[in-house]
Structure 1
Amino acid sequence: MLSLADEQWGLVTSQQVEATGIAKSTLARQVRNGVFERAGTGVYRLKGSGAVEHLELRAAWIQLDPATPAWERSAAQGVVSHRSAAELFGLGQLPADIHEFTLPQRKQLRRSDVRLHRARLDDADWTRRGGLPVTRPRRIAADLLAEREDPGAVGQIIADALRAGLESSADVAAAVAPYALSHGFRSGDGLGLLRWLLELSGDPDQATWIAQAARPVGRGDA
């Protein structure tokens, strides 16, 4: 049980413990004795396991599929997305009071602090950060535009991602292109939408990023 917790940021679920052959009563006794503390419904944290960033988000993610260990999961068991993904990357300033995840199938979780989105993610749509599966910044921007989030806030997330070298502006333009028409641009005009979003961010390098996005594929610097 302790080795399992060590591999999951000090977290275990009752189902994972039972799968190892340990009785429920043993876990209950460990909780009473102060070895573990409750971190959510069916999720427990090893006391003294040290500070972990985004612990509540991790516990909510673990709870999405409580029987499967963290290292065996794929996107099918849930990917951190939307505002939660932006916070995990440290992008923008949108508050992430609700833990947001994207799954390919419908799922219900009785938690008021969790929001589940249904979508199929390609391998190029997500990566891992801090051991958690998380949508890439370009997908974050697209998802937030689809949710009609504040364009200025989305522009800041994009600018932060470009400045950190997490994305190319061309890839971001392609990702946001499906939402150009709904934001007043010509259908598919991802470059125009990206230009506007970066203008809203006020970033001094916006012209450079737009020039890079507009450069034809395969054309290097002169």
Structure 2
Amino acid sequence: MKALDALNKLSDLCARQKGLFTSAQAQEVGVNRTTLTRLAAHQQIVPIARGVYRAATAPALREEPVYAAWLSLDPKTPAWKRKLDNTDYVVSRETAAWLYGFDEFDPKPYAFASIERKQTRNKGIHLFKHAIKPEDVRVVDGLPVLSRQRTATEILKYCPNTRAIIDFLSTLTPEERPLSMMRLLGNRETKFSSLDAHQIRSVCNLWRKEDRSLRNDWGTDHTGRTHS
């Protein structure tokens, strides 16, 4: 197959998937692996991850490595045929926090959660079984991602970077804050330095003050009774 013909066949995939496509998707449109190897050798496509390529004319986006990992987990299915609010392969943990714009988190290995146990041979991807409801999922940069509330819970449980955790928690709105924050902190406190634990508790105390202020503004006390 001529290079131009192959690139034309791949163009629709690239246009609808941030410039990316998988080798399995390429085969579905009639472009075999030998042709892909030749296109890559001539720098007309760029290998991004195992079995995932980017058109050389497409820009590299910040979310590209996570998007490539997500495509690779279901390599035959194009992005536009996937339900972004379902509970398969939802970006989670530090990878989710990074997608929310917190660069101090290391997104690798790329973490994905699912309600069913999944497996992958890709050591750069970690899969976790979690209870996830559709309302726990948000769409960020075209990817299904755990909500900021669920992400806060996840990083507080599993992330070793306490400085990044504090920064993330400090940005949460009242609706996004984990309901069991103090219990989660208690479970992890032995893993924090005394200073980090104190700073996280300071965030919690600030939340309490804000909650009390909001209740007062609405004319309710801490018991929920309305003042006359």
Alignment of 1:9-48 (within 5 A): 9-48=18-57
Relative to structure 1, the CA distance from residue 104 to residue 33 in structure 2 (aligned partners, 3 Å threshold; closer, same or farther) is same
Distance 1:202 1:38 in 2: 48
- The partner residue of 2:202 within 199, 206, 216 is 199
Tell me if structure 2 keeps the 8 A contact 1:127–1:134: yes
Q: Residue 87 of structure 1 corresponds to which residue in structure 2? A: 98
The alignment of Structure 1 onto Structure 2 pairs a total of residues equal to 204
Deviation at 1:58, TM superposition (A): 1.4
Per-residue Cα deviation, 1:94-129 (whole angstroms, up to 9, x for no partner): 333321111222223233332221113111111101
Determine the structure 1 residue equivalent to 2:150: 139
Q: Post-superposition shift, 1:84?
A: 0.8
Q: Which residue of 1 aligns with 2:122?
A: 111
* 3-state SS, counterpart of residue 145 of structure 2: strand
Larger Rg: 2
Return the alpha-carbon distance in structure 2 between the equivalents of residues 59 and 217 of structure 1: 49
Aligned with 1:125 (options 132, 136, 141): 136
TM-score between both structures, scaled by the size of structure 1: 0.74
Q: For the structure 1 residues 41 and 95, does the alpha-carbon distance in structure 2 shift closer, same or farther, using more than 3 Å as the test?
A: closer
Deviation at 1:78, TM superposition (A): 0.6
Take 2:188 and 2:106, find their aligned partners in 1: how far apart are those partners?
Answer: 23
- Matched with 2:13 is 4
Over aligned residue pairs, what C-alpha RMSD do you find? 3.5
Match of 1:208 among 201, 207, 210: 210
Summarize the Cα distance change of 1:85–1:120 in structure 2 as closer, same or farther, 3 Å threshold: same
1:156-180 Cα deviation digits (max 9, x unpaired): 2121233xxxxxx255242647636
2:172 match: secondary structure: helix
Letter in structure 2 aligned against 1:179: L
Aligned sequence identity (%): 25
> What secondary structure is seen at the aligned counterpart in 1 of 2:54?
strand
TM-score in terms of structure 2 length: 0.73
Structure 2: distance between partners of 1:30 and 1:88: 31
Structure 2, unpaired ranges of 5+: 1-9, 190-197
Q: Secondary structure at the match of 1:86?
A: helix
Mapped partners of 2:215, 2:50: distance in 1 = 46
